[in-house]
Structure 1
Amino acid sequence: MEKSLSMAFAPTGEVVEYDLRHLSLYAAILDVVASSTDWRESASRLMKLDIDDPRAQACWLSHVERARWIVGAGLASAIEAFGLVK
């Protein structure tokens, strides 16, 4: 069984190593949000969250917000932090 994120909320503020490790998750999250897939199905499938846990939706939403930030306002910071520009 794949490991869940154990209700770990996405970071806020500066780009951190967690973001680099979860870029593919952020991309998948943005895809399912754009397709209007139910958050419960997506959180269960992508993050292995227990959707019956009262914290699940908040955890999911923190990752949605972070994914949007990474590709929006945080993009320049992410590119610099991940060493994509020298």
Structure 2
Amino acid sequence: MTSELEQPVADQAPLIERFTDYDRAHLVTYLRLLDAARDGADWREAARQVLARDPDHPASRACWESHMRRAEWMTHTGYKHLASLREL
């Protein structure tokens, strides 16, 4: 069994306006990204430590941006979908 901290990260987070299995698997990832942003971490550091991405790779910035957008979506919309689920 793979832990939440070991879930592979897609190149792009979901774009749909509903909570997905990907979101469920990456709740910890989203929280870690939000914590890093709150702490003022550079996107490169968060990409490396949270997303396991090489910040020098051209696609890493887009990956980080999409996951940050999704993490922020979770804080104002996605949590409502999550709260409606009976179990995680």
TM-score w.r.t. the length of structure 2 is 0.81
Indicate the percent of aligned positions where both proteins have the same amino acid.
Answer: 33
Q: Deviations over 1:17-57 (max 9, x none)?
A: 00000001100100000111111011101111011111111
Where in structure 1 are there 5+ consecutive unaligned residues? none
Higher-RCO chain (CA-CA 8 Å, sequence separation at least 6): 1
User: Within 5 Å, which residues of 2 pair with 1:29-40?
Assistant: 29-40=33-44
After the TM superposition, list the runs of 4 or more consecutive aligned residues in structure 1 that deviate by more than 6 angstroms: none
Partner of 1:49: 53
8 Å CA contact 1:40–1:51 kept in 2: the answer is: yes
Deviation at 1:76, TM superposition (A): 1.0
Q: Which of 62, 65, 70 lines up with 1:66 in the alignment?
A: 70
For structure 2, the residue ranges without an aligned partner over 5 or more in a row are 1-5
Deviation at 1:4, TM superposition (A): 5.3
Cα contact 2:7–2:26 (8 A) shared by 1: no
